[in-house]
Structure 1
């Protein structure tokens, strides 16, 4: 069947049948189809800028011989647009943008966009050709878990969409649809020869292997080649890692996009053989440490650059967390945009001073030493009349952290650089941090990185160069906040191997007290750690955002009430 649509207004329906569109290929005949998959990033909300970028990329793809160019999920507005989808002018902006893109001649464009009509707002894919929008598809499976909140904004699509081009019947799906069996089966039953899937699939450790396993299974099960076009880059705390894939019907990978990089992937589909050509050289496989590190670099880079800051300030302590943060900042932004400040006090060791200076020199960043003795002394003097007869251990430690936080924010206000905090996921989990002190900042680079992974990443970064960028004793010495004499983290916390094992079970796997104890951990320790996590929710809620890399990050994915009566042992 064929339903010809000639303008954007004609798309304003939510068909519940299976819809097929016949594109104009009269002058082309049957044979090979050249696809251009645009693995790139689109700025959330910048519809005009995104249209300009799409136009340039589509014309470039046409010049390179592409018949069909594919842009990722919601590329017109960027992903995730969140409450921008509720803005009253969105429909008009989308309409104008789609009309402009439809005017591009000589190439078929498939792109993701928010479709708005009297049925609701849909997460959709459009087919543009020869001055008009020829068809559309609405996403059927709307994810509402983890970072996803699509049912808040979108209505569920119900029609299966195919279009014919040069004798090939192409079906459309969007992201979550391919993780379910019914949508692709329906396309196969309707005669699809291949399936195009638009994606904004976020990164987490091991995600690319999951994608490959899924596409291999779906392609073989339904005997359909699959084009999986993914976005790349970061939006707030989410990173998209690219890794776009083209899977043959037998489950073999024909093309794989690079990870964390913008890329144009050109692939030719043989209409007679129903197979894609094969890329000459697949991208290098990334180790777990490599993909984690690259995700952190991309997350910081895009957040700082798009926030409009001139650079970043790092409070460099001589410890491993700030050392790794400094490396990531330099790799993300360049040494000329990174400013390191060492703020020693009476408990700061000479080793810390030496190592901080050595790393700053090795990375060629601006480095300043700003002692906090006078700042802490002034606060102590001011508070002394109020603290008569009171013990001041924790208060004394927090005054140091807050003095440092005040100095960092003052520098930020004066010079226009973003403060990036250095707390890791283990510390954030148990509240081993100071509100308005070491937690200050606009972005927490290590927010979703457990302490044991901090060590892994530090060693990984050092292996990349002959001359290590992090002094070896920063990695090997006992970790310490240096807020009192002879302090180590293990004065207050279990060893990090044990702590992180418990935290991963409780946070990432959602296991409870009984299950964690059954795994062999001492019950009193489990109770203590879980209590620390629960009590620190108010701190985490006030902390800076940071790049998600694990299965479950604090913030978007793990949202607990600040005060509640939940019993750990219940």
Structure 2
């Protein structure tokens, strides 16, 4: 028999949306009560949203969070609720879980370890709490304990490891909680999404349930809170090394509640097993990220320069999937309401009609554009229902080049001015597509990917122009393969022409037969080099020696590719500094605002690259 009905809730929050955040919390509490929940745990910083950044450093922001907590108390009758918020004590701010029982605040548990790797910079805002320390906190005239505390309900003892606390090996609070003989550990988290990361979390909570001999509950935030990080809203329960409960990840809903019947001595149970598909993870996360970004920015839709190539076609499909998946989960009426769309579909293909309302695409032909990419773009746009426009930029390009030729007193030519002549075509497209986006009060979607970000194979103020860059955190090799998967598994026959083309910038004369990989190196090799150089932070020599043994490629050619990668990487940091906001989707990215910081000016690995010649 269950002795305690426990729920975890995930919520999709937004910085400074006090009423929206509050309503999500009280709606989740109401649903939990309907399910008979006695103990409910929300994620960390659920009251304010995790992505509030330097707002945490102010005095008024944590104070308002405390007032929101006070406002929440009356909704917690006949239930115990744990909810996250920042708490300021003099000049320090702590990341805390507040525990409310039957409308009374029982105390705060403070986070002991700060995440400082990858996308996280928690030490900028929060101070770690010391183990064993407990102080008294004045909560509107009532003294309540704050610190390293455990609680009890119906004879069941429970404690907390707040997100990063659980990832600290032998230092983690769970060992001390075990010594205090807790039955349950909650892990309220704000853990960013990355493809495959759910398996790491599963391993953590399964192992934790065994090591500490507890039932381990995990609750993560949900959605694209504030622009870059996406939270998958994961809820899990583990016991005796097995996952017993897991929810649907990356939901389009405002909140989810999952309930578990806790028993001290449970009978047989059925473990939950996760089967991951990286292609599916990518499209679901990016679709949710676009949905939240669109509605939270209060924009009216998207504008996309659709070249007919892999990158822009991927983004078009992601918008289509945003609509398809959102309508399926939320229902047509609620989906339209959340996007503030005053529109009534008239056919039996409402998703296609909605895409036509919110996605405008444009093919912008230069003298070097081919018929095949035009047909590819047009076919794809029409197949998903997007508005398709097209025009030529030849006159604009000629106007720019004639002005500069007159100014410098000579004609431009491809032998001498190759890069400049390529770039002016890409840049000439930017002002007019921005004009279209402004007219429609829409978000301009930038099409650059991570591989191009690595080596600067993108034109600043050209294909990098945009309000948001949805695929800047995934590599081109993945995108090429994902498009083939999407054509078949997601049912997009309009991708057939896209998938038949070899990636090309189409900026040189057609007789040059320009391709991306000829300009750079094979995309599959860029993935291998960046994995070692950027993710693993290896030196050029290390990268070469490792890949020499792993890949069947001529040593001198491999050296040339490694040198090219590091030189281009160093030279193009300024471009990465100017990337439009991008989603964090993979295990790492190259956005200096969220993952990898590198000096704009440097010695460009000159000494390190010379070492390669000695091997």
Q: TM-score, normalised by structure 1?
A: 0.90
User: What is the 5 A alignment of 1:117-516?
Assistant: 117-118=89-90, 120-158=92-130, 159=132, 160-180=148-168, 181=170, 182-235=172-225, 236-248=227-239, 250-261=240-251, 262=253, 263-271=256-264, 273=265, 275=266, 285-333=275-323, 334-335=354-355, 336-389=357-410, 391-471=416-496, 473-485=497-509, 486-516=513-543
Q: Are the equivalent residues in 2 in contact too, given 1:39–1:257 (CA < 8 A)?
A: no
CA distance in 1, matches of 2:233, 2:24: 18
CA distance in 1, matches of 2:276, 2:181: 37
CA distance in 1, matches of 2:606, 2:110: 43
| SS of match in other structure, 2:409 | coil
CA distance in 1, matches of 2:269, 2:89: 41
1:491: how far off? Answer: 3.1
Correspondence for 2:581 among 534, 539, 545? 545
CA distance in 2, matches of 1:278, 1:121: 42
CA distance in 2, matches of 1:91, 1:500: 42
1:341-398 CA distance string (max 9 Å, x none): 1101111111111111100110011110121122212222222212323543222211
User: What is the 5 A alignment of 1:509-528?
Assistant: 509-519=536-546, 520=548, 522-528=558-564
| SS of match in other structure, 1:547 | coil
CA distance in 1, matches of 2:181, 2:95: 24
User: What is the 5 A alignment of 1:92-111?
Assistant: 92-104=63-75, 105-111=77-83
1:91: how far off? Answer: 3.3
CA distance in 2, matches of 1:374, 1:155: 58
1:448: how far off? Answer: 0.8
Q: Are the equivalent residues in 1 in contact too, given 2:571–2:604 (CA < 8 A)?
A: no
1:20-49 CA distance string (max 9 Å, x none): xxxxxxxxxx96211121123111232332
CA distance in 2, matches of 1:467, 1:134: 54
CA distance in 2, matches of 1:218, 1:477: 49
Name structure 1 gaps, 5 residues minimum. 1-29
Q: Are the equivalent residues in 2 in contact too, given 1:238–1:547 (CA < 8 A)?
A: yes
Q: Are the equivalent residues in 1 in contact too, given 2:302–2:442 (CA < 8 A)?
A: yes
CA distance in 1, matches of 2:590, 2:16: 25
1:132: how far off? Answer: 2.1
Q: Are the equivalent residues in 2 in contact too, given 1:140–1:156 (CA < 8 A)?
A: yes
| SS of match in other structure, 2:161 | strand
| SS of match in other structure, 1:460 | helix
Distance 1:126 1:270, change over 3 A: same
1:523: how far off? Answer: 1.6
Q: Are the equivalent residues in 1 in contact too, given 2:63–2:87 (CA < 8 A)?
A: no
CA distance in 2, matches of 1:118, 1:395: 56
Distance 1:284 1:155, change over 3 A: closer
1:118: how far off? Answer: 2.7
1:306-356 CA distance string (max 9 Å, x none): 111111111001111111111012222551211111101111111111111
Q: Are the equivalent residues in 1 in contact too, given 2:566–2:605 (CA < 8 A)?
A: no
Q: Are the equivalent residues in 1 in contact too, given 2:2–2:261 (CA < 8 A)?
A: no
4+ runs deviating over 6 angstroms: none
| SS of match in other structure, 2:260 | strand
1:282: how far off? Answer: 5.1
CA distance in 1, matches of 2:157, 2:267: 15
| SS of match in other structure, 1:81 | helix
Q: Are the equivalent residues in 1 in contact too, given 2:247–2:258 (CA < 8 A)?
A: yes
Distance 1:276 1:135, change over 3 A: farther
CA distance in 1, matches of 2:390, 2:599: 40
Name structure 2 gaps, 5 residues minimum. 133-147, 324-353, 549-554, 609-615
1:44 lines up with 2:43 in the alignment: no
Q: Are the equivalent residues in 2 in contact too, given 1:269–1:276 (CA < 8 A)?
A: no
Q: Are the equivalent residues in 2 in contact too, given 1:256–1:283 (CA < 8 A)?
A: no
1:20: which partner in 2? none
1:562 lines up with 2:600 in the alignment: yes
CA distance in 1, matches of 2:560, 2:490: 44
Provide the aligned C-alpha RMSD in A: 1.9
1:61: which partner in 2? 32
| SS of match in other structure, 1:343 | strand
1:285: how far off? Answer: 3.0
Q: Are the equivalent residues in 1 in contact too, given 2:285–2:585 (CA < 8 A)?
A: yes
1:543: how far off? Answer: 1.5
Greater fraction helix: 2
Distance 1:276 1:99, change over 3 A: farther
| SS of match in other structure, 2:365 | coil
Worse-superposed segment, 455-464 or 67-76:
455-464
CA distance in 1, matches of 2:501, 2:579: 27
1:465: how far off? Answer: 4.0
Q: Are the equivalent residues in 2 in contact too, given 1:66–1:266 (CA < 8 A)?
A: yes
| SS of match in other structure, 2:159 | strand
